[in-house]
Amino acid sequence: MAIERTLSIIKPDAVAKNIIGEVLTKFEKNGLRVVAAKMLHLSRKQAEGFYEVHIGKSFYQPLVDFMISGPVLVQVLEGENAVIMNRNIMGATDPKKADPGTIRADFADSIEANVVHGSDSIDNAKQEIAFFFKPEEIYSR
């Protein structure tokens, strides 16, 4: 088992619903540890840059608008197989398809307002972590 790091974002819908703690509890109860965290209100430029892989898709502009509609909590999660573990804890992108007990099944309203983002590969996790955090902002044991 490999100890990995992954990027997680608690999105504006979850911050507005005051469920940051409940979402973090899901990560912690499943063996992931928060090793960095900051609350940010993303600029349009930041959100467009973060999601540039989706440029051209029909949901790109609504996604950017949604991600700047309020503050987010950005975290680095660490643990065994953290990238896939986080994806499993979040559940499917569309909450209607998410397994019971996952974050999106329990808390998400729609595919747009789906509570959390998580890196989808180890390479993307490295890039996404570097997008938001300097190395010295991440707790190392």
Residues that bind ligand CMP (CB under 6 A): 54, 59, 63, 93, 111-112, 114, 117
Give the tokens for residue 79. 């643990």
Nearer to ligand CMP, 54 or 126 (CB): 54
In the complex, what is the shortest distance from the CB of residue 10 to ligand CMP, in angstroms, rounded to a whole number? 11
In the complex, what is the shortest distance from the CB of residue 141 to ligand CMP, in angstroms, rounded to a whole number? 28
DSSP strand pairing (33-40 vs 3-10): unpaired
Q: Which strands, in side-by-side order, build the sheet including 33-40?
A: 33-40, 72-80, 3-10, 116-118
- Are 35 and 76 contacting, i.e. CB atoms less than 8 angstroms apart? yes
Active site residues per annotation: 117
In the complex, what is the shortest distance from the CB of residue 74 to ligand CMP, in angstroms, rounded to a whole number? 12
Nearer to ligand CMP, 65 or 139 (CB): 65
20-29 helix and 82-90 helix, angle to the nearest 10 degrees: 130
Nearer to ligand CMP, 8 or 24 (CB): 8
